[in-house]
Amino acid sequence: MKVLEQARKISIPIEKEQEKIKKISELSIQLVRQQAERFSEVTGVEIGGSYAKGTWLSGEVDLDIFVKLKKDVDEKTFESIGKTIGFDSLKKFKPYVRYSEHPYVEAEIEHTRVNVVPCYDVEIGSWKSAADRSSFHTKFILQSLDQSKKDEVRLFKKFLIGIGIYGAEIAKEGFGGYVAEVLVHHYGSFLGVLEAASSFVPHQVIGNPTKKFDTPLIIIDPIDSNRNLGTAISAESVGRFILASRAFLKKPSLAFFKPQPRKLNKKNLDNTVIVKFNYKKRSPDIIWGQIKRATTAVAGQLDLSSFEVLRKSCVTDEKSEAALLFLLRSPNIEKNVIRRGPDAFMRKESENYIAKNSKKSQVMWVNDAGKILSLQESAYHNAKTFLQYLLKKNLLTSGIPSGLVKDIKRDFKILNGRQTTSKSIKKALLELITTDGLVFGSP
């Protein structure tokens, strides 16, 4: 297929880039080993991730260096040694802390991210931290995939990037690099993965689990049958993957391997509302978790107040700015709204509902389904006005994570889609209010 040959050319690193990354890798591991020698608790240092496995993409490589510690080292010492080695080895490159299950140190060397990650030196199956599996993942992929299949992985990763669902981190909730490798190993090729995905069923199981899992896609780690790699993948990412696979097989195009600009539907700008605020610097993993929970909480409050939320999203520049974004059916609602209550059979719930709503109710009744309903005048008819009230007067009871309360309290703005100027917010807004032509149409 001509499209795949073209895609391979933009996926497989050229020799010059391979030489550059090799030099950075050798320098990084040398620096880490020098610092690791100071600690008797360290049993070894090794490079892992996509670089070690030979599945890294042109322009997309991260270098993961694992510092292995004796399994009897306590957690506090484990974290302390990991951070000390990371900072001391990368001190010339402005290192900073990131978080997964445990903190690790990251820095950039010649535009290439280098991660120094502590893990325990354990036998397979005797895991003490999430990172302990990494060296076993590397060995498994090196033993299981020849060069041809490694290039199939690269093709698949480029496809995932093109449709916007590559990365297992909380910001993306998509398909990570190891998942891509496992799927190509399981189905044999890039096209084999897409053909299988086109016919996935709910809770599709890939691999051989030893217990039950309940996620949209269940992908069993080949080196740990108790671990479901699909846990990190959102239902939205699974759905986009299935639809994009069908679309590509129906009409292959190089566009699937290159993120495509979307066409703005300006009508939807008026139906969006954005909560924008600045926050004090913290790990990207922490701020993403906080704003995702905040988005869900605020969407719930909007829905409870009869502002129907069609889609929601959030974004941060990972420096100081964050925003919660909502696409509403309408930013304005009618003066009178229906408050839906519980089933009349539910004694405690129905008594509470009646006590809470009887004075505000113009009329209260039981509908044909046995639910209690109340017609009331809405206190707020406009979503921006409602959010101003919520975040100024009811911030502590809004459901927003406590870690964001001070940031939002300090300063926030409520905007609509036509008022935002931030580059990162504009990009997130465009994705929220437009249709992805690759997934839902012909490229």
Please report how many Cα atoms fall inside a 13 Å half-sphere around the Cα of residue 247, on the Cβ side: 21
Delimiting residues of CATH 3.30.460.10 domain(s) in the chain: 19-138
- The pLDDT assigned to 443 comes to 45
320 touches 279 (CB < 8 A): yes
- Cα gap 229→233, rounded to integer Å: 8
CA 311 to chain CA centroid, Å, is 16
Which token pair is 23? Answer: 């030099």
For residue 13, give the 3-state DSSP assignment: coil
- The pLDDT assigned to 421 comes to 80
The domain made up of 145-257 has a fold known as Poly(a)-polymerase, middle domain (1.10.1410)
Cα–Cα nearest to 179, from 115, 117, 234: 234
For residue 312, give the 3-state DSSP assignment: strand
Strand order in the sheet with 204-206: 204-206, 217-221, 224-228
3-state helix, strand, coil in the chain (%, to 5): 45, 25, 30
Cα–Cα nearest to 163, from 442, 388, 437: 437
Look up the CATH number of domain 266-333+380-438.
Answer: 3.30.70.590
- The pLDDT assigned to 47 comes to 95
The CA-based angle 47-50-52, given to 5 degrees, is: 35
* Domain 19-138 CATH assignment equals 3.40.50.1110: no
- The pLDDT assigned to 87 comes to 97
Q: What is the mean pLDDT for each group of 10 consecutive residues in the chain (443 residues)?
A: 93 95 96 97 95 93 95 95 97 90 92 96 94 95 97 97 94 96 98 98 94 95 95 96 96 92 84 96 90 97 94 95 97 91 96 94 96 93 95 93 95 92 91 89 56
415 touches 273 (CB < 8 A): yes
- The pLDDT assigned to 88 comes to 97
Strand-pair category, 336-343 with 361-366:
unpaired
- The pLDDT assigned to 425 comes to 94
161 touches 279 (CB < 8 A): no
Please report how many Cα atoms fall inside a 13 Å half-sphere around the Cα of residue 231, on the Cβ side: 8
* Partner residues linked to 107 by β-bridges: 114
Strand-pair category, 103-109 with 112-120:
antiparallel
211 touches 198 (CB < 8 A): no
Q: Please give the model's pTM, rounded to 2 decimal places.
A: 0.89
Token look-up 């495509």 returns 260
Delimiting residues of CATH 1.10.1410.30 domain(s) in the chain: 145-257
Delimiting residues of CATH 3.30.70.590 domain(s) in the chain: 266-333+380-438
- Cα gap 387→254, rounded to integer Å: 43
Q: Which residues contact 65 (CB under 8 A, 6 or more apart)?
A: 28, 29, 32, 45, 46, 47, 48, 114, 115, 116, 117
Strand-pair category, 217-221 with 204-206:
parallel
Cα–Cα nearest to 275, from 405, 415, 419, 380: 415
Please report how many Cα atoms fall inside a 13 Å half-sphere around the Cα of residue 153, on the Cβ side: 28
Q: Which residues contact 228 (CB under 8 A, 6 or more apart)?
A: 209, 213, 215, 218, 219, 220, 221
